[in-house]
Structure 1
């Protein structure tokens, strides 16, 4: 069992909470009876459109108003990624393109209400599924994941997208991890992934400074493979790349991903990061900041505060709003 899982389950046990489900030696949940994704996910937060041969799937996030990564998005993403895990006599899409139905948001930040919750079964389940999603993104070598980003990718949304195999940006793309401004940290892979992608010093600049990265800057830094100045170009070029990749045998795609995945941070480093994060969310100071954040953000709705993240949160620190 991984360090982070052990800490999470120990916290749950201390609060009288049972583990969400059994895990294998890698920290991944043991297989259940989940099946391949239908056209719409269980909670309707992700819809799916597959090519006629099943080799390419578009997975579209839709959780109005800001594509908040709440329990329903996490559950739908977990179910989908679980459906892509290999099994005998099973075929899966060679390429999955993640996009969004919201022109302003690719994926929003984590639902801070869950940070506020006492350690209940609900909280344990959601945290475990977030961890599982990051593990599945890293361990799925039979499918190439592409993020087609033409909106805000903030907080956990940025962390999930940076763990995908490729990221392409449109004119509305804006990525950031604002967690330092509220006393937390990018704990779902955002820190160990950003460093290798854009370099340690620049990762320090954007993480510690809670700064946003637009499309052209992200392309220059290597966060985005390519920036396109129109949404149409973005979708056309990403679709063409996905169809090109899907021409090739899955076993060769798998071998390439296995090799290049050696460049990823280790599971142990991700667990160490999460283990450091878990105590932070229970600090009284951080709980007070989160309560104020929920207030000034209009309860995480489509307000000017949310639209201007991370700068609005930095300004709230300057103005003494949080404390």
Structure 2
């Protein structure tokens, strides 16, 4: 048997070895994922532990199945058990389009009847929103300098931080189509701005700008310059990346008790699917596709929530 004296001598050496091993793991540079299959996302490493993801899905960054697949594939790659190297400590989402950050789901993909491929797309979308919460080893930051309506806004409010540039404009319009933000968006907005304001903006299908969003808590902060916003977010990401992986995971995990329960979120999507099958849905969605010229950069899509009453004229 090893004497207690020898154990005491070896113990500090073991601590040193573990410390060196831990520092070597921490020092590993994050490896950028392979190019997105559909080309709607591009990836750039801004420091050893941060990936900047640029959304580019012309003409309006519509959350169609191409963007859906690329987002799901990327987020799946960040799950620690799916990786041979440490995940990035910070992921920043931005857009190459000065007018659109991330827009709504492709209405053609949810219009009744909900055939199997449409239901699968809904489930994939829900997986994206869950990953944003359940991957606690990575902090997700939205750099919003364009429009984020519907599902794009829903995904954004479920990220860990949101910052607004001069072109930022956000809102939910789903109630105007006879459904509601069914992927958990209204529950997470509730946490940001409170129940009364959530009711006001969701039920009214209202639209707000960056300064207003920052004032009420939809955004962390508003910037009058897009360049200033990018520099500030990059500085914040670099600062977070300086600290150990464990602190990122512990902080995000420790705050997750504020998230809605899985039961609430599952009930939410079940109700969305029920409403989506209602016979009054299809005429509204057909009108929506008509006035948006199949979801292109029309004046209607530039201010989607604001323009929803036009469907009822």
TM-score range, shorter chain: 0.7 to 0.9
Gaps of 5+ in 1: 1-35
Q: State the alpha-carbon separation in 1 of the partners of residues 210 and 163 from structure 2.
A: 9
Q: Of 245, 250, 272, which aligns to 1:250?
A: 245
Q: State the alpha-carbon separation in 2 of the partners of residues 315 and 113 from structure 1.
A: 19
Count of matched residue positions in the alignment of Structure 1 and Structure 2: 282
After superposition, the CA RMSD in angstroms is 1.3
Q: Of 183, 186, 191, which aligns to 1:191?
A: 186
- After TM superposition, the score normalised by the length of structure 2 is 0.87
Determine whether 1:152 maps to 2:147.
yes
Which has the larger share of helix?
Answer: 2
Q: State the alpha-carbon separation in 2 of the partners of residues 134 and 256 from structure 1.
A: 19
Q: State the alpha-carbon separation in 1 of the partners of residues 107 and 170 from structure 2.
A: 18
In structure 2, the residue matched to 1:307 is 302
Residue 266 of structure 1 and its aligned partner are, at CA, apart by 1.4
The CA deviation string for residues 103-145 of structure 1, in whole angstroms up to 9 with x for no partner, is 0000011100011253333213211210110111110000000
Residue 269 of structure 1 and its aligned partner are, at CA, apart by 1.0
Q: State the alpha-carbon separation in 1 of the partners of residues 175 and 230 from structure 2.
A: 33
Q: Is the partner of 1:91 in helix, strand or coil? A: coil
Residue 52 of structure 1 and its aligned partner are, at CA, apart by 5.0
Determine whether 1:115 maps to 2:110.
yes
Q: Is the partner of 1:106 in helix, strand or coil? A: strand
Residue 184 of structure 1 and its aligned partner are, at CA, apart by 1.1
Q: Could you tell me whether the CA contact under 8 Å between 2:112 and 2:276 is conserved in 1?
A: no
Q: State the alpha-carbon separation in 2 of the partners of residues 238 and 68 from structure 1.
A: 24
Determine whether 1:42 maps to 2:30.
no
Call closer, same or farther: CA 1:150–1:38 in 2, change over 3 Å. same
Gaps of 5+ in 2: 1-30
Q: State the alpha-carbon separation in 2 of the partners of residues 152 and 190 from structure 1.
A: 16
Q: Could you tell me whether the CA contact under 8 Å between 2:112 and 2:277 is conserved in 1?
A: no
Q: Could you tell me whether the CA contact under 8 Å between 2:47 and 2:238 is conserved in 1?
A: no
Q: State the alpha-carbon separation in 2 of the partners of residues 315 and 292 from structure 1.
A: 10
In structure 1, the residue matched to 2:19 is none
Residue 257 of structure 1 and its aligned partner are, at CA, apart by 0.4
Q: Is the partner of 2:93 in helix, strand or coil? A: strand
Q: Is the partner of 2:246 in helix, strand or coil? A: helix
Residue 297 of structure 1 and its aligned partner are, at CA, apart by 0.7
- Write the mapping of 1:175-190 to structure 2, written as runs, cut at 5 A: 175-190=170-185
Residue 89 of structure 1 and its aligned partner are, at CA, apart by 4.6
Determine whether 1:73 maps to 2:59.
no
Call closer, same or farther: CA 1:37–1:75 in 2, change over 3 Å. farther
Q: Could you tell me whether the CA contact under 8 Å between 1:117 and 1:123 is conserved in 2?
A: no
Q: State the alpha-carbon separation in 2 of the partners of residues 168 and 119 from structure 1.
A: 35
The CA deviation string for residues 284-315 of structure 1, in whole angstroms up to 9 with x for no partner, is 11111001110011110000111121111123
- After TM superposition, the score normalised by the length of structure 1 is 0.85
- Write the mapping of 1:132-281 to structure 2, written as runs, cut at 5 A: 132-281=127-276
Q: State the alpha-carbon separation in 2 of the partners of residues 268 and 229 from structure 1.
A: 40
Structure number with larger C-alpha Rg: 2
In structure 1, the residue matched to 2:57 is 63
